[in-house]
Chain A
């Protein structure tokens, strides 16, 4: 468990934008993960997708890491942003674009 926590912590801290998801950005294995992938791709934000299905420890550990019971989970500059619903709500209201910009993460112009 400690190992999973370290793995997760390292991913969160070494990548500006990390999405813990089921499947990969190229091939999401869950509709909720797929929605967040679509939003990030649309915004042209560089991000790392971590497939929790590859590692049972990470799959469980990520739920404890942020006290959040479901996947996907989006992290920006070490900060937990939310799951699918929150990411989508923020995207639809324009807050997500603003949030990325404030965090110094480049967003595609016009997105």
Chain B
């Protein structure tokens, strides 16, 4: 059980590394095993929606192993920081709603928990 977890972690890490080098690899036709990782899906959606000046997406699923919402394979719990002009003049709730709306597909695909820090750039 533990070994299998380690294996799948390694595989995920490899996938994440590949994703970094060719973020659009998932859209190449005829390739199996190219479903985008949740992390790359989140990054792509936020980049497209907000053209952020700063974006950090961290998979924290391993911290929640074994409790509600977690599942084998991870990709359920994420923490993100996004800084974009799009958030200027918006309330906290509005900023979070904008982020959540941009990530609807990720929630549909099983994203369970999302810690959000969304700000406009400091003036």
**Chain A interfacial positions (CB closer than 8 Å to B):** 22, 29-32, 53, 67-70, 80-86, 89-90
Contacts and interface: CB of A to CB of B under 8 A. Distances in A.
Contact of B96 (A30, A53, A83): A83
Contacts of A32: 113, 115
Question: Interface majority SS on A: helix, strand, loop or mixed?
Answer: mixed
Given A82-B92, A82-B96, A85-B96, 8 more contacts: A30-B68, A67-B97, A68-B100, A70-B113, A83-B96, A85-B115, A86-B96, A89-B117
Contacts of A86: 92-93, 96
A30 B67 CA distance: 8
A67 B107 CA distance: 13
B55 interface: no
Interface residues of B, number: 15
Interface of B: 64, 67-69, 92-93, 96-97, 100, 107, 113-117
Given A30-B67, A30-B68, A31-B64, A70 B114 contact: yes
A85 B117 contact: yes
A35 B69 CA distance: 17
Contacts of B68: 22, 29-30, 53
Residue of A22, A29, A85 with most chain B CB atoms under a 10 A cut-off: A85
B92 A90 contact: yes
28 contacts: A29-B67, A29-B68, A30-B68, A30-B69, A31-B64, A32-B115, A53-B68, A67-B97, A68-B96, A68-B100, A69-B100, A69-B107, A69-B114, A70-B100, A70-B113, A70-B114, A82-B92, A82-B93, A82-B96, A83-B96, A84-B115, A85-B115, A85-B116, A85-B117, A86-B92, A86-B93, A89-B117, A90-B92
Residue of A32, A70, A80, A89 with most chain B CB atoms under a 10 A cut-off: A70
Contacts of B117: 85, 89
A47 B71 CA distance: 32
